[in-house]
Amino acid sequence: MSTTETVSETCNTICNTMLPSAFRGAVLFARKKSSRPGECGIRLSANASGVEIIAGACDAGENLISSGFRARFPSNEFGAFADIVLPRSAAELWAKNIVETVNVYESTARAGGVSVPVENGNEFPPFHSIAAPSAVYSMPFSVFRTIADHIGSASDNESSRYALGGIFMESGADCVRFVGTDGRRLHVARISGASDGAFSIVIPAGSFALAVKAIEKSIDTSREKKKNALEKMRVVISFDDSTGRGAFSWTVGGVCQFEISWKKIDGRYPRYRDVFPDYLENSAAEIGSIEIADIVAHAETCRKSVCTANSKGIDISREFGGNPTVSARSAENGEFSRQLKAYLPFHFSTKLDPNFVIDAARAAAAFEPISDGVAVWADPEKIGTLEGKAGAVFLGKAGDIFTSRDCRSAIFAAVIMPIAAD
């Protein structure tokens, strides 16, 4: 008589409805290729207090995640104990298939009918947590997203001046400013309200962009409910001056905590106040306005059909007795000229890069409530003698641009350096 013995493999079951949301955010930070162990994976751990998911990469010579993602959930339905590193591809698949339960064995993890090999999570680099921040600032997600788009679009990752690859953030007595520049354009956001502590740092623009994606992916619901959830969401920016590290954090459902770590960019930021004078925060300096949809459409046409490497600019002008116009010309592609839906003073004339104009105008179009036009400002002391050339300052929106749930005065501006006339 023969007997067959069956040895059952120990299984720990991790179950949480927020797992798909966390996996979607984590895959944004897990590298596809790396010589470092674990950086291509995602750490999944669970104990009696909850579930934690971490992904990210370290700087050279460090064993601490410099740019990373962490999700923490206070609930752990089955009280599982596990600490593993999953392949990035598995997390991506399980997020797509909305897998909310993962069974962890000695050397594998199974979920949604898929079994993958896992590694021990003890060797995964730790996530930097800011226990005692030097400064903290909170804002609505709608503002955070606009800053990432409007300010980040002006940063320059290709510059040898590393600081230009980031978004400069500084706090004042009654406001917080965010600045981005590539030396040819300067985008500034001025948000009224004081921060808890002083900021004067350069944050990687890429961290802002990744944070926007991760926040949007952390909301897993219908389109209408997701829109409402994002309108109510706040993002907290915290910074530890002693370590040069900071974080973006937010919560979902009041309990699930998400956090993105980043390391400040070293280097001296340009003296942006030299080209962003005080009058740009004074409504008396407004000299005109341009309809957003009209300038974007004409600038797109000029960029694609007329402008060349030798003739990059579009002319925005208004002659005495005439209407505002936008035009462009090149020897290769001929000319373009159309009346512009705008109000501009007589003798106004400037030549601008159409790419910069489009970026500035589209940023204004993203505001809530939607802005119909961008304003053009000039030094009040020179308005009476505004003749010939004029630098254009496009202002997205002044006053309350937020929902009634969180109204604070704000200014988003784009200062564009004019191109020399042909």
What single DSSP character describes residue 10? Answer: P
List alpha helices for 157-220, DSSP H: 205-217
pLDDT for 386 equals 41
What is the CATH architecture assignment of 277-416?
Roll (3.10)
Three-state SS at 385 = helix
pTM as predicted: 0.83
- If one counts every other C-beta atom within 10 angstroms of the C-beta of residue 296, the result is 21
Residue 382 identity (one-letter amino acid): K
* Shared fold status for 12-123 and 135-263: yes
Which of 86, 107, 101 is CA-nearest to residue 42? 86
The answer to whether 27 and 55 have CB atoms below 8 angstroms apart is: yes
The answer to whether 58 and 65 have CB atoms below 8 angstroms apart is: yes
Overall CATH class of domain 135-263: alpha beta
Overall CATH class of domain 12-123: alpha beta
- If one counts every other C-beta atom within 10 angstroms of the C-beta of residue 298, the result is 26
Which residues contact residue 34 at a Cβ distance below 8 angstroms, ignoring those fewer than 6 apart? 40, 57
pLDDT for 218 equals 92
Local confidence pLDDT in tens for the 422 residues of the chain? 444 444 446 788 998 889 999 999 999 998 887 666 566 899 999 988 899 999 998 887 777 888 999 999 987 777 788 999 999 999 999 999 999 999 999 899 999 899 999 999 888 888 988 888 999 999 889 889 888 988 998 898 777 778 888 999 998 878 899 999 988 888 888 888 778 888 899 999 999 999 999 999 999 777 788 888 888 899 999 999 888 899 999 999 888 999 999 999 988 898 888 877 776 666 667 777 888 889 899 999 999 999 988 888 899 888 888 999 999 999 899 999 999 998 888 878 888 889 888 888 776 666 555 566 677 766 666 554 443 334 445 544 332 222 222 334 667 778 888 787 65
Pairing assessment for the beta strands 114-117 and 65-73 based on DSSP bridges: unpaired
Which residues pair with residue 353 across a beta bridge?
Answer: none
The answer to whether 164 and 183 have CB atoms below 8 angstroms apart is: yes
pLDDT for 380 equals 64
pLDDT for 392 equals 46
Give the chain's count of helices (H) and strands (E).
7, 26
pLDDT for 38 equals 63
pLDDT for 422 equals 59
The answer to whether 89 and 60 have CB atoms below 8 angstroms apart is: no
Residue boundaries of the structural domains of the chain: 12-123, 135-263, 277-416
pLDDT for 387 equals 38
pLDDT for 36 equals 64
